[in-house]
Structure 1
Amino acid sequence: MGTDIYGFVEVRHPFADEDWYEWEPWVCLMPISPLYLNDDDDAFACLFGVRNWLRWEPVAAERGLPADVSSAVRGSHEKDGRLDSAVHGASWVSWAELRDLDMSVVPLARGLLRVEDPPLLRRFRVDDEWPGAFVEKYGVPPVGASPVEASPGRWDAGGVTVEYGPVTTRHDVLGPGTGWEHVFAVMRALGQRFGDDGVRLVVWFD
């Protein structure tokens, strides 16, 4: 089963620090759906450490809900938790953090094996040895006896197509065409009004 994300953009009210201001400092502005409609585990792992099988260094993992989260977002999280016991991974990240991401960063895995067996696509993380489960089923890849010396390649293995190549970058999982560019564009625009530290994304998963 795939992993679903629930996310909301919050902004800090410009008058939150004024003595006369008596309301919540953070305001729930909008859900990220329909800006973002995908369920890409690589992106979730890259940003929040969820289903992190490629061993990304997450940007904002396991922070929980912000202590001053808006009542609207807290209420939505509590409601989702009552409806689905699988809800987990609550965290948050500011636009200031997302704005400055190095998009060339890659996870700690050495590479990826992709097995195309339509309609299925299986992926195996590769470290310093070929994955045992892959070798048992498809044999040692012809691109090298060890991943340390292997080159990228594509071949047929028992009627399925296998490809070995480098791991993806942050740009690959968060850049144009992923859907995250729309979320980031909205947060960037809001930062011009509320300040980059005054805009944040609050999320959880099931």
Structure 2
Amino acid sequence: MSAADVVYCMLTALFAAAAVRVLRHAIVSRRLAWRGRVDLSLHAAMALAMAVMPWNGVRILPAVPLTAFFAAAALWFPLTAVSRRQESRLTATARRLPYAVGMAAMAWMAHSMAVPSHETLAEGFPAAHQAAHLGHSAGGSKAGDVVTGVLALYLLVCALRSLTRDMPTLCRVPDTVALSTSFRDLYGHFWDGSMTLGTVIMLLVHH
């Protein structure tokens, strides 16, 4: 087994476990409103799609519908932001922004799968047009590098924040109830950060 296969196996295990966790939470939790259930369904769909993508997902998954689905999912999170007490609409939207960017990254990866390689496109072109075509492809490649870099950097910051945000408070938990709450929050933040970090790796692997 190659090093790439080991990474693919780890990513598949991570996203499959994340999908099971999200689906279990959606089924067990009875207090979730319809918006929360849609959120969880989108997260589960993203995790399942990413679990398949490392194993030649370009042939298994329909790339164009997948791109449209996750582009719509990326819009869903900011458009359905609900303000909490003493919270502005802008703050509520910013709170859901990492999820929107994660869905946008998934749409970007699906879009990249749908675009044929430069070599495949160039095969059918006359020699007179190949130089212009390759120049256009190089420009598109640079733009793609920028998009991938921005998405990866933002998601990396979000992942590190989720994985480390509770560390300073772990030694200052006052009682059993607070301890239980702290571990529940830590558990949720761990999964959020892990899935976001896995998304970053997938972005770089598929670029």
TM superposition score normalised by structure 1: 0.27
TM superposition score normalised by structure 2: 0.27
More helix by share: 2
More strand by share: 1
Which one scores higher on RCO, CA 8 angstroms, separation ≥ 6? 1
